[in-house]
């Protein structure tokens, strides 16, 4: 469909859709409304038809369900999305970001010889076409990116798009049977490990307390956990502490870990190395506690507290708990 926008919806083994994907569907529906077009969704793997149809609540008109394609790997999804785009004539593919979204978006771009914009923070409609807004020069300027051909691939920053659960009703579920390319089936998913060792999916948390080497030792992570608990948030970590075995890899933020964009990122005992920064710089508010006033994190946080975390954290936790209970 001309002007149509196709989104991929990632789900877990229980069939719950990822918040970031729901944001992308909501955004696609909003934009499709302005274009007078349709937001379509691709779902792969075992998910109940009801759950697929339920994506209509976020504005999806049709859900293309490839049951036999495996979930969690990029190449099979590229096969399915490329096939749906070709058969149905979608003009754009929109991703909410996250590691898998980046990989699928990049694969789709190569497969369809398309144009791609990454790290997109907003999308608008101009003269009947989508324009992606992308921050550049360390977020000091925004450029508008349009597409000269179709399809145009748009990969958002993680959680760039808000979830809107009242955009529509039930979606039509269309079963698709796509023949996967030979190379797409070479890798097999043995286990899904994104939440290994962590109770909460940090990519979905609105409040994160990031703990670094400044915590001093593994047991001191309980200070970060107590603070996160008091605020109703989750705990994240730097690579330094993950490598030291203080915290699970599932909680690692950064270049070789996860990308997060919570409403509040509270960095405790974290120096702010570039490899860590790239994973959390999109957080709405960054607060840092560090005893070294020259720590790089003070160059990009919104609020910096110079001091010893061992003294500050217990008092902060107590104060927040008291405020919330009273
Ligand atoms: C290829 C590559 C990929 C990488 N990928 C990642 C990645 O994905 N994620 C990541 O995080 N890192 C990554 N790194 C590592 C990165 O370069 C840093 O080494 C790491 O982020 C540092 O972690 P940290 O801030 O916990 O430790 P440090 O840099 O040692 O900082 C500890 C901070 O704690 C402060 N501190 C100490 N005691 C206290 C106290 N009592 N109270 C308050 N503050 C205190 C110190 O002043 C210091 O600023 C990568 C590196 C490479 C080379």
Which among 280, 290, 294, 311 is the best mutation to test ligand 1's pocket, defined by most ligand atoms within 8 Å of the CB? 290
Sign of the Cα torsion 68, 70, 71, 77 reads negative
Distance from C-alpha of 237 to C-alpha of 251, rounded to nearest angstrom: 6
Q: Where does residue 88 fall: left (phi above 0), alpha (psi -120 to 50 degrees), or beta otherwise?
A: alpha
Interhelix angle 74-88/98-112, rounded to 10 degrees, is 50
Which among 209, 220, 240 is the best mutation to test ligand 1's pocket, defined by most ligand atoms within 8 Å of the CB? 240
Beta strands 141-145 and 234-237, pairing class: unpaired
User: In this structure, are residues 105 and 153 in contact, taking their beta carbons and an 8 Å threshold?
Assistant: yes
User: In this structure, are residues 264 and 208 in contact, taking their beta carbons and an 8 Å threshold?
Assistant: yes
Residue 67, pLDDT > 80, answer yes
The rounded Å distance from CA 295 to ligand 1 centre is: 10
Q: What are phi and psi of 308, to 5 degrees?
A: -85, 120
Mean pLDDT lowest among 82-91, 105-114, 140-149, 307-316: 140-149
What local confidence, expressed as pLDDT, does residue 219 receive?
96
- Kindly calculate the radius of gyration of the chain based on its CA atoms and give it in whole angstroms: 21
Distance from C-alpha of 161 to C-alpha of 321, rounded to nearest angstrom: 31
Per-residue pLDDT reduced to its tens digit, 260-289:
999 999 999 999 999 999 999 999 999 999
When pLDDT is cut at 50, 70 and 90, the band that residue 198 belongs to is very low
Residue 1, pLDDT > 70, answer no
Per-residue pLDDT reduced to its tens digit, 228-237:
999 999 999 9
Pocket of ligand 1 (CB under 6 A): 212-214, 238-241, 252-257, 269-271, 273, 275-276, 279, 289-292, 295, 308-310
Beta strands 141-145 and 122-126, pairing class: unpaired
Per-residue pLDDT reduced to its tens digit, 85-132:
999 999 999 998 777 899 999 999 999 999 999 989 999 999 999 999
Per the listing, tokens 């076409």 go with: 129
The rounded Å distance from CA 272 to ligand 1 centre is: 6
Residue 171, pLDDT > 60, answer yes
Nearest protein CA to atom 27 of ligand 1, as residue: 213
What local confidence, expressed as pLDDT, does residue 167 receive?
66
The rounded Å distance from CA 220 to ligand 1 centre is: 16
The rounded Å distance from CA 164 to ligand 1 centre is: 36
Per the listing, tokens 């994973």 go with: 279
CA dist 112 → 3, 72, 107, 150, 163 (Å): 17, 21, 9, 9, 28
Nearest protein CA to atom 30 of ligand 1, as residue: 213
User: In this structure, are residues 42 and 7 in contact, taking their beta carbons and an 8 Å threshold?
Assistant: yes
Distance from C-alpha of 40 to C-alpha of 51, rounded to nearest angstrom: 15
Can you list the alpha helix ranges (DSSP code H) found in 37-175?
Answer: 49-53, 74-88, 98-112
Nearest protein CA to atom 19 of ligand 1, as residue: 240
Q: What is the pTM of this model?
A: 0.67
Residue 99: Cβ within 10 Å count: 14
Per-residue pLDDT reduced to its tens digit, 5-42:
999 999 988 889 988 899 999 999 999 999 999 999 99
192 or 63: which leads in pLDDT: 63
Distance from C-alpha of 189 to C-alpha of 12, rounded to nearest angstrom: 13
Can you list the alpha helix ranges (DSSP code H) found in the chain?
Answer: 19-35, 49-53, 74-88, 98-112, 221-231, 239-243, 274-280, 309-325
Instruction: Report the percent of the chain where pLDDT is more than 70.
Output: 96
């Amino acid at each position: 469909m001309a002007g149509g926008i196709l989104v991929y919806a990632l789900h877990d083994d229980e069939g719950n859709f990822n918040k970031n994907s729901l944001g992308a569907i909501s955004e696609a529906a909003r934009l499709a409304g302005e274009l007078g077009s349709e937001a379509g969704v691709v779902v792969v793997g075992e998910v109940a038809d009801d759950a697929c149809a339920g994506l209509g609540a976020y504005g999806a008109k049709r859900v293309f369900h490839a049951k036999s394609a495996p979930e969690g790997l990029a190449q099979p999804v590229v096969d399915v999305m490329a096939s749906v785009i070709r058969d149905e004539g979608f003009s754009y593919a929109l991703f909410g970001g996250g590691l898998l979204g980046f990989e699928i978006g990049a694969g789709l771009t190569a497969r369809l010889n398309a144009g791609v914009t990454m790290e997109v923070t907003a999308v608008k409609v101009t003269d009947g076409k989508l324009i992606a807004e992308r921050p550049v020069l360390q977020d000091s300027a925004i450029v508008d990116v349009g597409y000269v051909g179709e399809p145009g691939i748009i990969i958002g920053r993680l959680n760039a798009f808000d979830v809107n659960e009242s955009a529509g009703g039930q979606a039509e579920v269309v079963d698709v049977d796509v023949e996967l390319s030979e190379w797409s089936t070479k890798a097999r998913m043995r286990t899904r490990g994104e939440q290994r060792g962590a109770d909460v999916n940090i990519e979905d948390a609105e409040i994160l307390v990031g703990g670094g080497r400044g915590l001093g030792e593994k047991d001191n992570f309980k200070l970060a956990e107590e603070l996160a608990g008091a605020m109703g948030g989750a705990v994240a970590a730097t690579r330094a502490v993950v490598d030291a075995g203080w915290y699970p890899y599932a909680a690692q933020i950064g270049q070789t870990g996860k990308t997060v964009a919570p409403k509040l990122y509270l960095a405790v005992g974290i120096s702010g190395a570039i490899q860590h920064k790239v994973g959390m710089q999109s957080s709405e508010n960054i607060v840092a506690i560090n005893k070294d006033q020259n720590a790089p994190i003070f160059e990009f946080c919104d609020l910096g507290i110079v001091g010893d975390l061992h003294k500050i954290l217990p008092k902060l936790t107590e104060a927040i708990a008291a405020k919330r209970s009273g």
